[in-house]
Amino acid sequence: MITVALPKGALLDDSIRLFQAVGLDFSAFLDKSNRQLQISDPTETAKALLVRAQDVPVYVEYGQAQLGVVGYDVLREKTPQVAQLVDLGFGGCRMSVAVKESSPYRSSLKLPLYGRVASKYVQCAREYFDALDLPVEIVPLYGSVELGPITGMAEAIVDLVSTGRTLKENGLVEIDVLYHSTARLIAHPLSYRLNADGIQTVIEQVRSLVLARV
């Protein structure tokens, strides 16, 4: 039986709708009274795991889930060994550098040497500033990164921005974009090579659905 890892949070609704459209119904996860972390679709042809977005590629890399939906931002940060098969088009956002509105720094390159940058995306932030050859100190945080510049702990943040509302409401402005991200369909490489449990059919259905939407 195919197992699909689905991310909690922003991508869940779209992911469930996507699989519903190819005949796999995991909408039980949307039911507020649901506490189950693993469910089968009503036709008993596939299972779904409800996991944190960062954990989706882990389940897929180990092969406990053959397929998964996850944002490119997570793939970029964790570089898991998974097959990246379809750009699903939803969950669009960008990884940006942001500073306080009152900050004198208006581009990443202008940030002070050895300045502090707070981020949940430590790997990605480090790569970016290394590529700019700008030595900064990356401060790892697990949430509410916006507080870094507000409290004065950091000059800037590197974080995911979708509408920009959170930044605005916290008095921050974007000064640079590292990359754009969307949700992706990923697969366990060995299962993909062996077409285990006929996952190729599901992948093709998802692909044609996404192509048809464009």
Give contact residues for another protein (rule: CB under 8 A): 58, 61-64, 78-81, 83-87, 184, 187-196
Angstrom distances, CA of residue 136 to CA of 9, 114, 117, 130, 154: 31, 4, 7, 9, 10
Q: How far is the CB of 76 from another protein (least distance, A)?
A: 12
Of the two residues 58 and 138, which places its CB atom closer to another protein in the complex? 58
Q: Report the nearest approach of another protein to the CB of residue 82 (Å).
A: 8
Nearer to another protein (CB atom), residue 2 or residue 187: 187
- Helices 199-213/12-21 angle, 10° precision: 110
CA 162 to CA 160: how far, in whole Å?
7
Contacts of 183 (CB under 8 A, 6+ apart): 11, 14, 15, 69, 70, 71, 72, 88, 89, 90, 91
Nearer to another protein, 28 or 75 (CB): 75
For another protein, which is the closer residue by CB, 120 or 184?
Answer: 184
State the nearest-atom distance from the C-beta of 146 to another protein, in Å: 28
Q: Nearest approach, Cβ of 103 to another protein (angstroms)? A: 32
